[in-house]
Chains A and B, each alone.
Chain A
Amino acid sequence: MEDRTLIDRCRKGDELAWEHLVQRYQARVCGVAYTYTGSEEEALDVAQEVFVRVWKRLDTCRDPERFAAWLLSIARNACLDHLRRRKARPPAQDLPADEMFDLSDGGDRPDADLERDDQRHVLEVALQQMSDINREAILLKDIQGLPLEEMANMLDLPLGTVKSRCSRARVELAKVVSGMIGPGPEAEAAR
């Protein structure tokens, strides 16, 4: 069922449609909230708050075809509000060396699910070590797949600035991951 149909029904008070809409987007909103907060518990609280805001403002969503982008924008604002309230970010979690997944080993571990979890964990820890601005760029562009133009609108920045920010953010993420897993043998030899 399309978002537009669900939203129309929600506006008429159809609680089943609202439940369906929540189920459709809750994991995505939790993903965004987790990337901003770095805490599962806080992410759940913020995600609930996001849906309460969406429910209250559903009639202001002018273009239901772009509901996902509108939702992301509300989620972003809710996360920033939360971070402002929290003020100080918690220290990034240290990952024990033996739990780190070596991205350079070609991924030949037998348990594919375990490998995926390890990769995810490394990325989540690395994201929390990045600067706020660059982490947000990675989240919106590479994780949530927002088009650059949409991102520029949301952040109220020129397109060129958004492009260069995304580029710098990817490099920062790669360097953080490289610092976590250690330099490759070639790079080590070159130093």
Chain B
Amino acid sequence: MSGNWQKRFDDADLTRRILDRTSGRACDRAEDLLGGRWDADVEDVDQHLLQGHVDGCPACRELETILDRLQPLLPGLAEREPGPAFTARVLARTSVVQPVPSLPAAGRLDRLARILENRLRGAWNRPRFALEAAWTAAALTALLVWSPLAPSAAPDQATGAVRAGASAAPELIAQVERLADSARVTGREIFGPRVDRLEQEVAEIYTDLAGRFETVKQEGQSLWQRLAGDETQPESD
């Protein structure tokens, strides 16, 4: 008989019913402590009280079991192998990005190369570059042809010079290419591994320049044809 009474007094269900009518269930507080155990700040008293609650609360006991099983597994998610091509892709992207600016140990030559590289790239990439180049060319032509300093036969001489210049352009380009090849060989000796990147950027600049040159050439030809047309028309007066 007394055993039955004792059993009824120890019943966790009775505790729950009393808590429901007083402070409410202690599961929220127990959850806080259960989740915080890995930060090693649960005091002994709290640990004791928590254990008493968990012993009588199946839901919190299950939570404790799952937490204990999950915690050692989580560091296993720290890394995720990205595959063999990842490093190569990152290196490809970082090799064309402007490198770290402050290089105290770098040599003067290296720094000079970097400054020139950035300045040149900046100049060629400016959107107004083609327009400015066209204006400069037009101003030079005007000086050659119509300047008071020009000799009496200036128009003919100037147009001849311009025509000769245009016909010499392919030869000039070939000369530039030969110089570039020579510079590449010398540059490789001086700059070592940086040459590959410089070569790539020079190639891009060259492609860009060729496009701009073609545009300027077409505009020049159009202007030339108009000027030639004006010259052949009889004066109205």
Binding site for B on A (CB under 8 A): 10-13, 15, 18-19, 22-23, 26-28, 30-31, 34-35, 43-44, 47-48, 51-52, 55-56, 58-59, 103-104, 116, 119-120, 123-124, 127, 138, 142-145, 148, 163-164, 166-171, 173-175, 177-178, 183-184, 186-187, 189-190
10 contacts between A and B (CB under 8 A): A28-B78, A52-B90, A104-B65, A120-B77, A167-B32, A167-B36, A168-B32, A170-B35, A170-B67, A190-B57
B100 within 8 A of A: yes
B100, A31: Cβ atoms under 8 Å?
no
The chain B residue with its CB closest to the CB of A47 is B82
* 8 Å CB contact of A59 from B32, B87, B102, B106: B102
B174 within 8 A of A: no
Closest 9 CB pairs of A and B: A167-B35, A27-B79, A190-B58, A167-B36, A170-B35, A55-B94, A142-B74, A31-B80, A187-B62
- Give every chain A residue within 8 A of B31 (Cβ-Cβ): 171
B95, A143: Cβ atoms under 8 Å?
no
Are A103 and B69 also in contact (CB < 8 A) when A13-B106, A120-B76 are?
yes
Taken together as a complex, chains A and B put the C-alpha atoms of A178 and B60 apart, in Å, by: 12
B170 within 8 A of A: no
- Give every chain A residue within 8 A of B58 (Cβ-Cβ): 186-187, 189-190
Taken together as a complex, chains A and B put the C-alpha atoms of A149 and B101 apart, in Å, by: 31
- Give every chain B residue within 8 A of A168 (Cβ-Cβ): 32, 35
The size bracket of the interface on B is 35 or more
A142, B94: Cβ atoms under 8 Å?
no
B91 within 8 A of A: yes
Query: Would you call the interface of chain A mostly helix, strand, loop, or mixed?
Result: helix
Taken together as a complex, chains A and B put the C-alpha atoms of A119 and B69 apart, in Å, by: 10
B193 within 8 A of A: yes
Query: Would you call the interface of chain B mostly helix, strand, loop, or mixed?
Result: helix
B149 within 8 A of A: no
The chain A residue with its CB closest to the CB of B66 is A174
B94, A184: Cβ atoms under 8 Å?
no
A175, B97: Cβ atoms under 8 Å?
no
B78-106 CB contacts (< 8 Å) to partner A:
78-83, 86-87, 89-91, 93-95, 97-103, 105-106
* 8 Å CB contact of B100 from A27, A59, A142, A164: A59
Are A58 and B100 also in contact (CB < 8 A) when A166-B36, A184-B62, A187-B62 are?
yes
B34 within 8 A of A: yes
B103, A13: Cβ atoms under 8 Å?
yes
B77, A124: Cβ atoms under 8 Å?
yes
* 8 Å CB contact of A56 from B41, B82, B98, B102: B98
Taken together as a complex, chains A and B put the C-alpha atoms of A110 and B31 apart, in Å, by: 34
B73 within 8 A of A: yes
B91, A18: Cβ atoms under 8 Å?
yes
Q: How far is the CB of B57 from chain A (nearest CB, A)?
A: 8
Taken together as a complex, chains A and B put the C-alpha atoms of A168 and B39 apart, in Å, by: 12
Taken together as a complex, chains A and B put the C-alpha atoms of A143 and B76 apart, in Å, by: 7
Are A30 and B70 also in contact (CB < 8 A) when A19-B91, A183-B62, A187-B59 are?
no
B75 within 8 A of A: yes
- Give every chain B residue within 8 A of A166 (Cβ-Cβ): 35-36, 38-39
The chain B residue with its CB closest to the CB of A184 is B62
- Give every chain A residue within 8 A of B59 (Cβ-Cβ): 187, 190
* 8 Å CB contact of B75 from A30, A47, A145, A164: A145
B152 within 8 A of A: no
Q: How far is the CB of B59 from chain A (nearest CB, A)?
A: 5
A19, B76: Cβ atoms under 8 Å?
no
